[in-house]
Amino acid sequence: MKTFIQIFLFPYIFLFGVHASAQKRKNDLKLSITIADKTVDTIRLNYYPPYGSYSQPEQIIDCRIKDGKFDFDLKNIAQTGYFQLTFHTSGGYFGMLEQHSDAEMISAMFLAEAGDDIKMDIGELGVTFSGKGAEKYNCIVKVLQERAQLRKSWPKKEKRDDLVTETRTEQRMIKENSLKILETYKSKLSPLSYAILKLDYQVIEIHGIINTLSTAWHRNEYVDYVLKNQAYFSLKPESPLIADRSMSYVDFLFTKEQALAWKKFNADQPGAALSKEKFIKFIADKYEVGALRDKLLSMALLDADAGYGKMLKQTLSLIHTKSYKDYLVKNDLLIGKGNSFFDFHLQDTLGRTVNLKDLRGKVVVVDFFFTGCTGCVFLTKAMTSVIDEFKDNPEVVFVSIDVDKKKEMFLAATKNRKYTHAEAINLYTNGQGEEHELIKYYGFQGYPQLFLLDKKGNILFGNPPRPGLDQSFEPTKKGSTGEFIKIIKDYLAANPSAKPAPIKMSKN
């Protein structure tokens, strides 16, 4: 799936060709889709129970066209959840309908309720919903459409004069407009869906600010700003249930708690990373037992930092929600530190095959991208500082893997340098797109993806700190980029080796 939302890696099971039955049950979700785009032959639906950015799809359903429609029938779902649609394209992967004017709205994360029986019409000019529960979906689409129009009206700038003021102004406009639209639909929504959407929209401003500052500012500056403005960053949900089920609130809360914990434990060590063990205890002590606490604890364990393996048992003892327990165990088996990375055999731009064994004896930085991925472009730019740091070090190698199906797209992507660097070994999935066994093994739900591998080809970090840009959206060696560089330097210092052998690639 090609989305810009960072989600869990998940070894999923496909449910293929699911169609609606005549039987109606109050715990089901039925969705019938008609689409004007005749090039789409398969639609993928990812269904999530109460969503947070560290959740996993509970069901992943691929549905082929039948009689001009795509019909989904999900049985016995939770009272509320979220689903997202992606479309099989000529590029060989599932992604948004890039050419459609409402592409972002069509592949939005939609709040769903058990009992919804929806017809979704994706026409050439827009998307509409009808049927039981349709007003909720139409409200979400309306909010996203108005948000897109607001963004178009903002003056374009190469650099921001005042990052905080301008971001607050923009996000406040989006928040107020979203809440205004929601109120016009209130009488047509269930009390629960109204409350969840209201919290989603109330948190827009502070969520936008905290996300912007956490990536654009040095950590000291960002944390100090959050501490000095705690009243501004406070939002009390209607209930723990609403908080747990809000798409955006938990993400915001987690980022905020990270800042507070970092200041508490790292005041005298500004350059040090936040201890995972201390952060988990910080969350456990601060929150009452319940789903919200369990979600935050899961996020704390899975966040980019060392210590996943040694903290897994302790964290599992604190969590009571079964779905979070189950995922943490599965995730450890897949991308936990010390696990072998998938032994790929992929072609480069010249048709030579590169496999993981060719890279033994080197620290390997692996990223995955696809053509059209905005987040991938930002990561490529941010990685410039990392590559500059290690480009002359023979013990470090950079590998960029394109999941585009067409080789000409891969060659174009490597040539234009929007998604990769000249210093990287550029590979693609041999014309298989996301059907390649490497991609299926990790079950990526979004891009870009980033891994750090040790000299033995084992996972050093399955979710390392993500290099970022400065306030002017230029590469920097501060913040998360500095943490990423430090991880590599510390590993090299602790694992010295003789001069690495050159990389040998075989000709197909």
- For residues 212 and 450, the model is more confident at 450
Residue 25's pLDDT band (cuts 50, 70, 90) = low
Query: Is 117 inside any structural domain?
Result: yes
Query: Is 448 inside any structural domain?
Result: yes
Query: Is 191 inside any structural domain?
Result: no
Question: Helices (DSSP H) in 129-202: which residue ranges?
Answer: 134-153, 163-185, 191-202
Structural domain for 430, as ranges: 345-507
What are the distances in angstroms from CA 312 to CA 53, 298, 317, 329? 19, 10, 9, 8
Query: Is 385 inside any structural domain?
Result: yes
Q: Is the pLDDT of residue 454 over 70?
A: yes
Q: What is the CATH number of the domain that holds 55?
A: 2.60.40
Final residue in a domain of this structure, among 79, 98, 132: 132
Tell me what percent of the residues of the chain surpass a pLDDT of 70: 86
- For residues 271 and 149, the model is more confident at 149
Query: Is 477 inside any structural domain?
Result: yes
Query: Is 329 inside any structural domain?
Result: no
Pairwise CA distance, residues 392 & 382, whole Å: 18
Q: Give the tens place of pLDDT for each residue, 282-327.
A: 999 999 999 899 989 988 887 755 556 678 888 999 999 888 888 7
Q: ∠ at Cα 167 (248, 464), nearest 5°?
A: 55
Residue 331's pLDDT band (cuts 50, 70, 90) = confident
Query: Is 480 inside any structural domain?
Result: yes
Q: Which residues of 387-425 are buried (b: 16+ CB within 10 A; e: fewer)?
A: bebbeeeebbbbbbbbbbbbeebbeebbeeebbbbebbb
Q: Give the tens place of pLDDT for each residue, 387-410.
A: 999 999 999 999 999 999 889 999
What pLDDT, on a 0 to 100 scale, did the predictor assign at position 162? Answer: 76
What pLDDT, on a 0 to 100 scale, did the predictor assign at position 342? Answer: 93
Q: Give the tens place of pLDDT for each residue, 51-88.
A: 666 666 778 888 988 877 899 999 888 889 999 998 87
Query: Is 182 inside any structural domain?
Result: no
- For residues 363 and 211, the model is more confident at 363
What pLDDT, on a 0 to 100 scale, did the predictor assign at position 157? Answer: 57
What pLDDT, on a 0 to 100 scale, did the predictor assign at position 153? Answer: 80
Q: Is the pLDDT of residue 27 over 90?
A: no
CA 297 to chain centre: 18
Q: Is the pLDDT of residue 13 over 80?
A: no
Q: What is the CATH number of the domain that holds 426?
A: 3.40.30.10
What pLDDT, on a 0 to 100 scale, did the predictor assign at position 158? Answer: 56
Number of structural domains found in the chain? 2
Q: Give the tens place of pLDDT for each residue, 112-126.
A: 999 999 999 998 878
Final residue in a domain of this structure, among 101, 132, 163: 132
Final residue in a domain of this structure, among 132, 157, 185: 132
Q: Give the tens place of pLDDT for each residue, 80-91.
A: 999 999 887 665
What pLDDT, on a 0 to 100 scale, did the predictor assign at position 4? Answer: 35
